[in-house]
Chain A
Amino acid sequence: MVATVSRTEARRRVWTAAAAVTDPELPMLTLADLGILREVDLAQDGTAQVWITPTYSGCPALAEMRVDVDTAVRAAGFEHVRVRTTLSPPWTTDWITEEGRRKLTENGISPPGGAPQRPAGPVPLTLLPTRTVPRCPLCESAETEELSRFGATSCKSLHRCRSCLEPFEHVKEI
């Protein structure tokens, strides 16, 4: 396969296959939407290489995503696949694409605001709640309250809309 198409074309196929894999915990998002697919490459021996980065250090979905990427790239015609991890630069929610944010909202999950800025030096201490208050993804009301900073998965917090009274999840800014 690699011999019959140009390297650029082959790379594009690897990227397309890996990019379409979905996150097991946010199944409406692909790895490309999430921004955790960092790079693809073809080694000299034709092995397809894919670099992904974890969202949280302890994200249990990473191992599953690695297997899914391996399966998807094989299915795209590459016999040898190597899925590699890259840790730097660390992923932040700013890597989630516009498309990804749209899909989250459509699925009733409030997308993250801007990731907290980390200027050099100590992380400033906050004694008051300073996080942005997310809008309700269902009725767009700004009148919402946080129920819990930690949700069913590491990446989400729990909120409730005071206007439509529906609870909803929010992807935390990190």
Chain B
Amino acid sequence: MSGDNIFTGLTEEHDSDSRWAFGTGFTEALAGVDTTLPAGVDGQDLALYCQMLGDDALVQAQRLAHWVTDAPELEEEVALANIALDLLGQARLLLARAGQADGTGRDEDAFAYHRDPEEFRNVHLTEAPRGDFARCVATLLVLSSWRLALFTRLADSKDPVLSAIAAKGVNELAYHREYAVSWALRLGDGTEHSHERMARAVADVWPMTGELFATHPVESALAEQGAAVDPATVREEVHQVLSQVLTAATLAVPETFPPAEIAGREGRHTDELAPLLEELQRVAREHPEATW
């Protein structure tokens, strides 16, 4: 960018559109990736599974974005925005994969902006109200520990695209968990007040954890084909991780995750999802001709 003023670069004449990556057709998340389906993997199932993991990331990213301009400190705002951006990146890749796997060729925007709440497959914890900062830490701690455990295994998926997305995601999720752990320790083992707020946050989040380990038929079918991870198989590992963190944070450790049926994975959601999507989808739906 030339000039002393950052805005001058934007108004200069250019002989190409290279300054503007958006709207140039270069934005597809999976452009040029070999997307052939591996033998023995059902495309429709794979597409649904990609939507589950993609929707978890998309909805959580949107929730986290609500901290922008509203976090306790600038550093935390930047951290939460960066975590949201990583998740949005994972969502883009996964939803793009879904559109190829189901044969419709729908792009990531079609999935993100033009599905109704009952078509979303995310777990309830991702759509739950934002709450205070302790609640944000508790939610992030649970979700990042769970997703990290899933992605570590998913890196061995028979589907090369899913495996590549997961292998990349592991590095990012490890940072997200580290961030949540550091705050859980600081708040839990902090002042009486911060301890009390953190304890309440864990208690509020815990009833929603059971759903994370309930297996959808598509997950078990794909797990058998070697393409997906049955979430029931990471239950013990995630509980162990959370126990260690909560103990070190001087917080009570609930003995088990509550039993739960699948809900969000089937498109059954709480009342929180519709307004969240309304905000996410509004511009795209009001201006169907817009590109970005």
| Chain A residues within CB distance 8 Å of chain B | 51, 54, 56-60, 63-64, 66-68, 70-71, 82-92, 116, 118, 121-123, 125-127, 129, 147-152, 154, 158, 172, 174
Contact = CB atoms under 8 A, between A and B. Distances in A.
7 A-B pairs with least C-beta separation = A58-B89, A84-B32, A57-B89, A87-B164, A63-B21, A150-B79, A148-B75
B167 A71 contact: no
B184 to A, nearest CB: 10
Give the dominant DSSP class at B's interface. helix
B165 A57 contact: yes
B214 to A, nearest CB: 21
Interface of B: 16-18, 20-22, 24, 26-27, 30-33, 75, 78-79, 81-83, 85-90, 92-93, 148-149, 152, 160-161, 163-165, 167-172, 174-175, 177-179, 181-182, 185, 237, 241, 244-245, 248
B149 A122 contact: yes
Given A58-B85, A66-B26, A148 B79 contact: yes
Contacts of B16: 71
A147 B163 CA distance: 34
Given A56-B89, A84-B31, A150 B171 contact: no
Contacts of B30: 85
A151 B85 CA distance: 13
B229 to A, nearest CB: 13
B34 to A, nearest CB: 9
A87 B161 contact: yes
